[in-house]
Amino acid sequence: DGKYTVTLIEGDGIGPEIAQSVKDIFTAAKVPIKWESVDVTPQLKDGRTVIPQEAIDSVTRNYVALKGPLATPIGKGHVSLNLTLRRTFNLFANVRPCKSIAGYQTPYDNVDTVLIRENTEGEYSGIEHIVVDGVVQSIKLITRAASERVLRFAFQYALEVGKPKVRVVHKATIMKMSDGLFLRTARDVAKEFPQIEFDAELLDNTCLKMVTDPAPYADLVLVMPNLYGDILSDLCAGLIGGLGLTPSGNIGDECSIFEAVHGSAPDIAGKGLANPTALLLSSIMMLQHMGLHQHAEQIQTAIFKVLAEGKTITGDLGGKAKTHEYAGAVIKALN
């Protein structure tokens, strides 16, 4: 029927409500996509957290998935499902753009950053053990192979979106071996891309400079090891108004999962109060990735129009609209 099938992982808490907004808006915009909803409730297999085989098969078959928030247990319990998904499908590059939104006032304007986070190793390798009582080790695993893969992706991404420069963010002054390897690999990969400028910056300095004046970062693609990317991407989100407004895409060679990075907000779940913008913007990244550029443009323009008008926005943005009223306003703004 000429339609693409996309796996939908609605997620926990507010997940189903914000997913509904995406579905309604996509239907109204006649996006040629059929959703295949899957359940990713974790199962324990040989002491390891795994996601149900049907979910794995669905993503593998469709190549593309959209995902809402999944709750992550703190300090104990099963491995984060979010990470399990990234690992299961080898989604090695996590792309996190942050762009100022007209109409939503923060102390910054014209923020336009792109952060690419290594998504499979570093402190997220999950290798931890107790040495003796009161002493633990958590391993930060860095390999040349995974570094090279994400770095090459970052340079290619810069070429595609027309950013002149790639900057590695690191702390090789302290993490001499792990970040040192990442940085050396970056210098090697940079030689393959003479059209793209390359430099490096210490993570703490990046944080300082970015909150002082984010404007110079608009010309860059930032690339870094996993945990730095986790933290710095929240900082970037903070510059434009928080995780309710920022998209993300987990990209692999075989498939990709686009997701909202915010939590499942159990306190407001089921009340129709959630802001679906982050998931919507992630779904727009997904459309771009699939080559459905016109639909992506059309929906994005409608969203930014509604946000700029500021009349039908959700409570977190200072408005009074319910989730479905906001989605309704976006639908009206499509043309």
| Contact residues for Mn ion, defined by CB under 5 A | 230
Q: What is the largest CA-CA distance in the chain?
A: 64
Q: Tell me which of ligand IPM, Mn ion, none is bound by residue 172, counting a contact when its beta carbon lies within the kind-specific cut-off of 5 to 8 angstroms.
A: none
SS3 content of the chain, % helix, strand, coil (to 5): 45, 20, 35
Nearer to ligand IPM, 206 or 298 (CB): 206
CB of 86 to Mn ion, least distance (A): 12
CB of 124 to ligand IPM, least distance (A): 7
Q: Would you say 72 or 300 has its CB closer to ligand IPM?
A: 72
Neighbours of 82 (CB within 10 A): 19
Task: Indicate the angle between helix axes 203-212 and 226-240, nearest 10 degrees.
Answer: 10
**Helix (H/G/I), strand (E/B), else coil: 2:** coil
Q: How many residues sit close enough to ligand IPM to count as binding (CB under 6 A)?
A: 6
Q: Minimum distance from CB of 151 to Mn ion (Å)?
A: 21
Side-chain-side CA neighbours of 233 within 13 Å: the count stands at 30
> CA 307, CA 317: separation in Å to the nearest integer?
9
DSSP H or E stretch at residue 81: helix 81-88
Decide which of Mn ion, ligand IPM, none touches 123; Cβ closer than 5 to 8 Å per partner kind: none
Binding test (CB under 6 A) with ligand IPM, winner from 172, 230, 255, 256: 230
CB of 155 to ligand IPM, least distance (A): 23
Please check whether residue 165 is in contact with residue 158, taking contact to mean a CB–CB distance below 8 angstroms: yes
Given the complex with Mn ion, which of 179 and 230 has the nearer CB atom? 230
CB closer to Mn ion out of 261 and 327: 261
What's the burial of 108, exposed, middle or buried (CB within 10 Å: 0-12/13-18/19+)?
A: middle
CB of 203 to ligand IPM, least distance (A): 16
Least distance to Mn ion, CB of residue 75, Å: 16
**179 scored as a contact of ligand IPM (CB under 6 A):** no
Determine the Cα–Cα distance for residues 278 and 99; give it in Å rounded to an integer.
Answer: 12
Site residues (CB under 6 A) for ligand IPM, limited to 27-86: 72, 80, 82-83
Interacting residues with ligand IPM between 256 and 275 (CB under 6 A): 261
The binding site for ligand IPM (CB under 6 A) comprises 72, 80, 82-83, 230, 261
